[in-house]
Amino acid sequence: MTARVLDGKAIALQIRHEVQAEVAKVIERTGKSPCLAAVLVGEDPASQVYVRNKELACQKAGISSQLFRLAAETTTEELLVLVNRLNEDPSIHGILVQLPLPKQIDERKVLDAVSPAKDVDAFAPENVGLMSQGRPRFLPCTPHGVMQLLHREGIATEGKEVVVIGRSDIVGKPLVSMLLQKSGPCGESNANATVTCVHSRTPNLPEIARRADILIVAIGKAHFVTADMVKPGAVVIDVGINRLGEGIVGDVDYAGVREIASAITPVPGGVGPLTIAMLLRNTLEAFRAANP
């Protein structure tokens, strides 16, 4: 069997067009436009590219964006002053602090300082709590992108055995939480999974992975998941982004797994583009909440 390739790029574009149409309506209704503030500390080349891509995506969707660049040696206190200023500025609806932050900065303290109402990355404890109770204010962008991708590709999670590899606060844990809900971002078929989460301390990981109807991988280790870890006919979602000499690759051995899975996301062009699309969606939702 050669797997169907799940086209994240096309789905992301579809979502971006939906957001663009809704943004045009809210601008017409309120005379104001949604605005995302992006905070970039230091010169990390990958972060600069990410922030630039987010700015361009905002522009295309009709969302304004403001970039705040701070020097690499910025202190936690200096960054907190900026975050607090953005929290209080009514013309800013979403705040994105690009990670990773330089080592001297207390990342947890800074992320905790972002107002939950403007927390479009959905990292704030209040927003994580609301999501885990099944009444989200914002959904975290990458896991939400995975759920949208599954739904729009006609892959229901309800009643399925889903294995998530990786338990980070940004990807693995929120995915588990979303899959477990009684109703997901796209309804009941987009939730209600039987979920297992495995990580670096799981002894029999390949055996558990082979149980999955849907296998989602987010660990940051190139080519980690090989064909022998995948049940024939499983759906495989690769969240990983690994920069190697050969270019960007995922956490899945794409060539091998493609021969056994029924559907698979490529890297690049799979989950990646959806993250930005969901950030735009959250910025629009933040604006709507501030302008009912």
| Residue number, 63 or 276, with CB nearest to ligand NDP | 276
Q: Which amino acid, one-letter code, is at 146? A: V
| Residue number, 241 or 284, with CB nearest to ligand NDP | 241
Residue facing ligand NDP at closest CB distance: 168
Q: Least distance (Å) from ligand NDP to the CB of residue 291?
A: 28
Please indicate whether residue 169 is annotated as part of the active site. Answer: no
The catalytic residue among 7, 98, 181, 251 is: 98
Q: Least distance (Å) from ligand NDP to the CB of residue 98?
A: 12
Please indicate whether residue 54 is annotated as part of the active site. Answer: yes
| Residue number, 205 or 290, with CB nearest to ligand NDP | 205
By CB atoms closer than 10 A (0-12, 13-18, 19+), residue 169 is: exposed
Please indicate whether residue 148 is annotated as part of the active site. Answer: no
Q: Which residues bind ligand NDP (CB under 6 A)?
A: 142, 165-168, 170-172, 199-201, 205, 218-221, 239-242, 271-272, 275
Q: Least distance (Å) from ligand NDP to the CB of residue 172?
A: 5
The catalytic residue among 7, 118, 119, 121 is: 121
Q: Least distance (Å) from ligand NDP to the CB of residue 241?
A: 4
Q: Least distance (Å) from ligand NDP to the CB of residue 42?
A: 18
The catalytic residue among 54, 160, 173, 231 is: 54
- Could you list the active site residues? 54, 98, 121
